[in-house]
Amino acid sequence: MLVAASLLLIINKLFPSFLVPTILVFSVLGLIIQYAGNYNYFEDPFWERLFDTYWLHRNGVLYSYPFFCIGYLINKHKIHNSISIRTAGIMSAIGFIFLLSESYFNYYQEGREGEFDFYLSLFFLAPFVFIFFSKLEMRGNSKNIALYSSAIYFIHVFCLIVLRKYTTFGPLALTFACLLMSIIASYFIIKIHKKVKCIL
């Protein structure tokens, strides 16, 4: 996220009219690298190993920047103000169906290796989910909500690593187990944070 934010500041200052093209270029490049690696498009061992490298496509430039920039443009042009919560909810549901369909397609393809983090449908789903929740009137302490979301974000990768090492869960069970474990862990992280403010 730091890389994405820094890149956005630079591009927005030097080439503000090129923000949308950079979203398209970086996201398409990331998708191509991921699909090429997972479907073994290259016969040459060097290129195959290179495109199988996880961080080649999942990084601050090709993965984080497009979503970061979309959020910036939504806020800058007040796009969320022109979309009702009903419309955002409907479009989120449609986007979720697209995501499930894309996941289902890739999961059952023969010759596929590796995992997918980068989905084309996310560029449709994520903005509408963001807009939908930004319009919800949530009761409770907004500070605690922010802390929980941050804690879950930071700890979920560690939880995923632990679960993969010590369990034999399938993809769906692994997802729910990781979410539950992250929520539980975030409770203790927030307790620590209230005493030692150096994490969240």
Q: pLDDT grade, residue 194 (50/70/90)? A: confident
> Structure pTM?
0.75
| Mean local confidence (pLDDT), 140-167 | 82
Q: What is the pLDDT of residue 39?
A: 82
Domain ranges within the chain, ordered by starting residue: 138-200
Helix and strand element counts for the chain (H, E):
8, 0
Q: What is the pLDDT of residue 142?
A: 58
Give dist(CA 78, CA 82) in Å, integer.
7
Q: pLDDT grade, residue 198 (50/70/90)? A: low
Residue bearing the bigger pLDDT, 145 or 33: 33
Q: What percent of the chain has pLDDT over 90?
A: 46
The lowest-confidence range among 34-43, 117-126, 136-145 is: 136-145
Q: What is the pLDDT of residue 196?
A: 76
What tens digit of pLDDT does each residue of 3-42 get? 999 999 999 998 988 999 999 999 999 999 888 888 878 7
CB neighbours of residue 57 within 10 Å = 22
What tens digit of pLDDT does each residue of 53-105 get? 878 888 999 999 999 999 999 999 999 999 999 999 999 999 999 999 988 88
CB neighbours of residue 75 within 10 Å = 12
Q: What is the pLDDT of residue 139?
A: 59
Give dist(CA 98, CA 121) in Å, integer.
6
Provide CB contacts within 8 A for 78, sequence distance 6+.
none
Q: What is the pLDDT of residue 173?
A: 86
| Mean local confidence (pLDDT), 102-122 | 81
Is the pLDDT assigned to residue 134 strictly greater than 90?
A: no
Give the side-chain half-sphere CA count within 13 A for 16. Answer: 4
